[in-house]
Amino acid sequence: MTIGSEVDALCKVPLFRGIEATKLRLLASISERIRFRPGEHLCSQGEPGDSAFIILAGQADVLVATENGQQVVARVGANDIVGEIAILCDVPRTATLVAIDEMDVLTISKENFLKLLKEFPEMALKVMRVLAQRLEKATRDFGAATATLAERASG
């Protein structure tokens, strides 16, 4: 994949919509393109977060360790960005990502991702919005799960 095709792919990522092509070219040039095979781990829950993943093609399951073993909590695919929580909050990875099919992914290091956010505030604002939407969904899902458990316990 060339820088031009990576820029075209980045334009499709909601987080980067509206960002100038020159800025996306910079992002593509400081990222590393990696291909993952089905079953390969992009990252594992608990490990240090040193990069974010921009999915260009393919899908991955998001798994979280529970008392009952690993549970799939989401599926991510083309045009999604994942792994940014660990690098923004300086915490271990919150989930494991496992490729479902062959994936093409751009990885961007923590250092470069943070530089981009400092240099391009509009990108930082979009990251905050994406994270806020994920938090709202997680809160809603947690509330629904708690209500279901309470119903089962009382019934």
Average pLDDT in the chain: 88
pLDDT at residue 15 tops 80: no
pLDDT at residue 92 tops 70: yes
- What is the CATH classification number for the domain harbouring 120? 2.60.120.10
CA distance 29 to 119: 16
Of the chain, the percentage scoring pLDDT greater than 70 comes to: 99
Count up the domains in the chain and report the number.
Answer: 1
Angle between helix axes 110-119 and 121-154 (nearest 10 degrees) is: 110
Please report the pLDDT score of residue 70 as a whole number.
Answer: 93
State the residue range of the domain holding 48. 3-154
Contact criterion met (CB below 8 Å) for 95 and 86? no
pLDDT digits (tens, 9 = 90+) for 99-110: 999 999 999 898
- For the question of whether the overall pTM of this predicted structure is more than 0.85, the answer is no
pLDDT digits (tens, 9 = 90+) for 81-91: 898 887 788 88
pLDDT digits (tens, 9 = 90+) for 40-84: 999 999 999 889 999 999 999 999 999 999 999 999 999 998 988
